[in-house]
Structure 1
Amino acid sequence: MEKKKKLIGCYDYTVILTYIGLSISVIGMTQAIDGRFRTAILCLALSGLCDMFDGKIARSKKNRTEEEKLFGMQIDSLCDVICFGAYPAMICFLLGVRGLAGWFLICFYCICSVIRLGYFNVLETKRQQVEDGANKYYHGLPITSMAIVLPLIFMLQVFISNAAFIVVLHVSLFVVGLLFIVDFRLKKPNNMVLIFLVLIVAVAVVIVILFSNFRIPKMQFPDTGLLDCLRGIIGK
């Protein structure tokens, strides 16, 4: 008799890094809203680092059930929508991608992100029915690439004018979004290439942290926490 679960979903080590990456991105969103873009870019890079290795960790478990495999694939894509779809788009909006052109590009980027991930899930589900292991090629640019592209672009802000920087943000949203849905085969990087990419992003993040002073006026939100609200209720 199959043991009944008390909670839906999976909570073992095969998905924990995915959950950590999502949590880092959510924290990064709060930092971006508060105008702390250096921290937000760092969170995006860390989230990308988590995504880079979560699949390898998941595949290290040899006795995964089909349900666990499918859940892992779905939860990874759902988290990617937030971490590398909505999150970078929100950062770009806060940095100055505004107006009709900005709204169009942000929507275009997010739609392309969802299309790419949905298409990946369909292909991967079919592939896993006939073979095991990781796929050796991407179809189109992987969505995680924005965790590399945006820190590098934000680093440019140190060297170019703010106006030029915002133009580059507009262009990057269009180009990266388009590459998400263009069907070309891209060989997955080996460990040496991954290490190189991590080092490149690390250098960009360090430059951003040390030299960037890009800020927007802090948005005005109620500066009260849960305990303050509870005290107010009890006080009444």
Structure 2
Amino acid sequence: MNKNKQASMLSFAKDLPNICSLVGLFCTVLAIYFAIGGQFLGSIIAILWSVLFDWYDGIIARKMKGRTKEQGVFGVQFDSMIDIVSFGVYPAILLLSYGNYEIWFIPGAFVIIAASAIRLSYFNIYGLIDSETYMGLSVDNNALILAFVFLFKNIFQHSTFSILLYSVIIILAVLNLSSIPINKFSGKWIYVLVAYVLVMTSVFGYLLWRQL
């Protein structure tokens, strides 16, 4: 292709699925900001919405007509880049922040980022096992599971929960890289996700309000 005919980089940002992806990335930036500041409930709310936008960008892309091959390829790569930030880097920052940035939390942070990078790179080459099956746990589930775990934060002392959080993140990394076939959540599962995000947002929002 003649370089003079190549689309500009910013032209892809006007593509509706990519706009949705960018909104999800903004939610992740908020989640990271709150996590670094120790506002974990707000952080969890933000990352849940990041997952929701991550699901919707694909739904929008599949329903849109007239998208070019280049837009489709760019969208796949763009989504993958955002996924590693949202579901690899973010859990690492969450772990480090909750662990008060003590040095022994660094290996766990590295493991979840590395696992996400390996998994997403592998997925970009091989894709699904079949149209309905992932190999291993999809990285977006990392955020959904971590949100559920944070429901029990107040039951444990800080040091105990930090060990639990560390353990869960290592387990997630193992599952991300596993060869276990896991059904793809698609179709009507989006309604389950929407309900989950709304319910969890309400719960964590209430807990956050009680802290004020």
TM range (shorter): 0.7 to 0.9
How far off is 1:115 after superposition? 0.4
Matched, 1:117 2:113: no
Matched, 1:155 2:158: no
Identify the residue that residue 206 of structure 1 maps to in structure 2.
202
Structure ID, larger Rg: 1
Give the partner amino acid of 1:35: G
Using a 3 Å threshold, how does the CA distance of structure 1 residues 199 and 97 change in structure 2: closer, same or farther? farther
TM alignment of 1:47-86, pairs within 5 A:
47-86=50-89
Identify the residue that residue 42 of structure 2 maps to in structure 1.
39
Give the partner amino acid of 1:54: D
User: Could you tell me how far apart the structure 2 residues matched to 1:98 and 1:35 are?
Assistant: 11
Between 1-10 and 167-176, report the one with greater CA deviation: 1-10
CA contact (8 A) 2:52 2:193 kept: no
CA contact (8 A) 2:45 2:200 kept: no
The two structures have a TM-score, normalised by structure 1, of 0.78
User: Could you tell me how far apart the structure 2 residues matched to 1:27 and 1:101 are?
Assistant: 25
Q: Deviations over 1:88-147 (max 9, x none)?
A: 2101210117545421111011100000100111113x99xxxxxx93221210110122
Q: Deviations over 1:129-186 (max 9, x none)?
A: xxxxx93221210110122011111111133332221111011110001111112221
How far off is 1:5 after superposition? 4.0
User: Could you tell me how far apart the structure 1 residues matched to 2:208 and 2:166 are?
Assistant: 19
Aligned partner of residue 135 in structure 1, secondary structure: coil
User: Could you tell me how far apart the structure 2 residues matched to 1:22 and 1:15 are?
Assistant: 10
Using a 3 Å threshold, how does the CA distance of structure 1 residues 147 and 111 change in structure 2: closer, same or farther? same
Aligned partner of residue 155 in structure 2, secondary structure: coil
CA contact (8 A) 2:84 2:116 kept: yes
TM alignment of 1:148-227, pairs within 5 A:
148-211=144-207
Structure 2: stretches of 5+ with no match in the other structure = none
Give the partner amino acid of 1:104: P
Identify the residue that residue 25 of structure 1 maps to in structure 2.
28
Matched, 1:104 2:103: no
> Which structure shows the bigger proportion of residues in helix conformation?
2
User: Could you tell me how far apart the structure 2 residues matched to 1:158 and 1:212 are?
Assistant: 12
Give the partner amino acid of 1:70: V
Identify the residue that residue 145 of structure 1 maps to in structure 2.
141
Using a 3 Å threshold, how does the CA distance of structure 1 residues 158 and 206 change in structure 2: closer, same or farther? farther
How far off is 1:204 after superposition? 3.4
Between 10-19 and 91-100, report the one with greater CA deviation: 91-100
How far off is 1:201 after superposition? 4.3
Between 94-103 and 139-148, report the one with greater CA deviation: 94-103
Give the partner amino acid of 1:81: I
Using a 3 Å threshold, how does the CA distance of structure 1 residues 57 and 121 change in structure 2: closer, same or farther? same
Aligned partner of residue 205 in structure 2, secondary structure: helix
Between 3-12 and 57-66, report the one with greater CA deviation: 3-12
